[in-house]
Chains A and B, each alone.
Chain A
């Protein structure tokens, strides 16, 4: 059985590194194709967006597919988008679509319907979408025009007539009449003000971005300072602990030394000195000695302090040797047999 061939868009989607981005780009290209008159800025805007996306293929095939109104491809892209972007996740994409559709004035009637379709597709409710549109375009979402009414055409003729008599450029307006865009009829002033408003909004957005960046830098500096502070405190705490430990060891050594000096009076009798080392009194039995030796040997074995550094191991080893020697002396003594 021969598998059905893939359409160009299916191939693009399969090769794409990010299917959502590919689908979103196709939808944006569709919005651009529905504009009637495409400005060079729009193409540039789409290029910029495409550069930021992670799809990893050329943009031109998508624009061609969208311009050809390939319904199958559009449906596939819509399904992919619907799967991956839903409600709040779709807001950035919808903002891009609105920005593209309103880059030179109010959206064309076709784009009005396309934008509404995208909002429905991605589960964005009319109030949310209207707010989003107002935020991006700075103007409320207009109701779609209705060219199936005679009134629409009358109003349009009147506007154009007024516009012609106002600007005195009948020939130019006559040429404009051939263009497909219904919104060409809007007075130039309105479009100018729309453009100015967009420019102002862009300026404000840039200002906001700058402030956000500065705030982020401030936060980062603060964070770095706090981290340094914490590191310093940590270091101090460790130093204090180290000092305390050394102090304790010093005291232990001194005690040991003092004990050794205290035991000096019993110097004459190695056996009784050995008994003191094991912590026993004179007259202890051989059993007592063995028990005491085992206890002390376990308590003072150098392996117990293996992890606490060489110095501690050395002192422990000294103590252990002394205990061992004492035990050996006692074991060889005839009195304790």
Chain B
């Protein structure tokens, strides 16, 4: 399936007036004929849009997973719906990183809780000592 919007040079959510204008301006006879037949009728355009969205999704998935040159992705579909490959963006790695961050935060929290357990009594003792010393000094 071809991406008629891409070939006409209009966004996929363009209104019918913009599309009519684009069809008028189109110089490619066969494309013009097909675009008129498909996008000019509302029911057909609805149906076409549904598949178009689905194929855009699959194209995006394929580009993220590095499957844009796979044996089952050939012809017009592969030409029009493939995005530039984007392998770096692995969701699994992201999930692992999130879990790692969570584990690190938990570890830090535990460590600080231990430290605080010792620090608070120490602070209390020091404060009491200082107060006592001050009282003693002022008593002199």
Write the chain A residue with the least CB distance to B38: A148
Set of chain B residues within 8 Å of A109, measured between Cβ atoms: 1, 51
Nearest Cβ in chain A — how far from B124, in angstroms?
A: 30
Bound CA–CA A121/B99 (angstroms) = 25
Set of chain B residues within 8 Å of A129, measured between Cβ atoms: 72
Bound CA–CA A126/B67 (angstroms) = 14
Nearest Cβ in chain A — how far from B122, in angstroms?
A: 28
Please state if A78 and B65 are interface contacts (CB–CB under 8 Å): yes
Please state if A113 and B38 are interface contacts (CB–CB under 8 Å): no
Q: List 10 A-B contacts (CB under 8 A).
A: A76-B91, A114-B54, A116-B73, A119-B72, A120-B72, A120-B73, A126-B72, A146-B1, A146-B2, A148-B34
Please state if A150 and B37 are interface contacts (CB–CB under 8 Å): yes
Among B4, B58, B72, the residue within 8 A (CB) of A148 is B4
Q: Which of A1-17 contact B (CB under 8 A)?
A: 1, 3-4, 6, 10, 13-14
Stretch of A55-63, A67-75, A259-267 contacting B (4+ beta carbons < 8 Å): A67-75
Among B65, B101, B102, the residue within 8 A (CB) of A79 is B65
Set of chain A residues within 8 Å of B41, measured between Cβ atoms: 153
Please state if B67 and A14 are interface contacts (CB–CB under 8 Å): no
Write the chain A residue with the least CB distance to B95: A10
Set of chain B residues within 8 Å of A80, measured between Cβ atoms: 92
Among B38, B61, B98, the residue within 8 A (CB) of A150 is B38
Q: Mark A197-240, 1 if CB is under 8 A from B, else 0.
A: 00000000000000000000000000000000000000000000
Interface residues of A (CB under 8 A from B): 1, 3-4, 6, 10, 13-14, 34, 69, 71-72, 74-76, 78-80, 82-83, 109-110, 113-114, 116-117, 119-121, 125-126, 129, 144-150, 153-154, 177, 180, 182
Nearest Cβ in chain A — how far from B29, in angstroms?
A: 12
Set of chain B residues within 8 Å of A145, measured between Cβ atoms: 1
Set of chain B residues within 8 Å of A78, measured between Cβ atoms: 61, 65
Nearest Cβ in chain A — how far from B126, in angstroms?
A: 31
Q: What number of A-B contacts does a CB cutoff of 8 Å give?
A: 110
Q: What's the interface size class on B, roughly? A: 35 or more
Taking the complex as formed, is B70 at the interface, i.e. its CB lies under 8 A from any CB of chain A?
Answer: yes
Nearest Cβ in chain B — how far from A74, in angstroms?
A: 6
Please state if B67 and A147 are interface contacts (CB–CB under 8 Å): no
What does DSSP make chain B's interface, helix, strand, loop or mixed?
A: helix
Write the chain A residue with the least CB distance to B53: A69
Give the residue among B64, B70, B72, B105 with the most A Cβ atoms within 10 A: B72
Set of chain B residues within 8 Å of A6, measured between Cβ atoms: 95, 98
Report if A116-B57 is in contact (Cβ < 8 Å); known contacts: A1-B101, A1-B105, A144-B77: no
Nearest Cβ in chain A — how far from B115, in angstroms?
A: 19
Set of chain A residues within 8 Å of B53, measured between Cβ atoms: 69
Q: Which of B48-103 contact A (CB under 8 A)?
A: 48, 50-51, 53-55, 57-58, 60-62, 64-65, 67, 70-73, 76-77, 90-92, 95, 98-99, 101-102
Taking the complex as formed, is B113 at the interface, i.e. its CB lies under 8 A from any CB of chain A?
Answer: no
Taking the complex as formed, is B117 at the interface, i.e. its CB lies under 8 A from any CB of chain A?
Answer: no
Set of chain B residues within 8 Å of A113, measured between Cβ atoms: 54-55, 58, 77
What would 15 more interface pairs be, CB under 8 Å, given A76-B92, A116-B73?
Answer: A3-B105, A4-B101, A10-B98, A71-B57, A74-B61, A79-B92, A82-B65, A110-B51, A117-B67, A120-B73, A129-B72, A146-B1, A146-B2, A150-B37, A182-B47
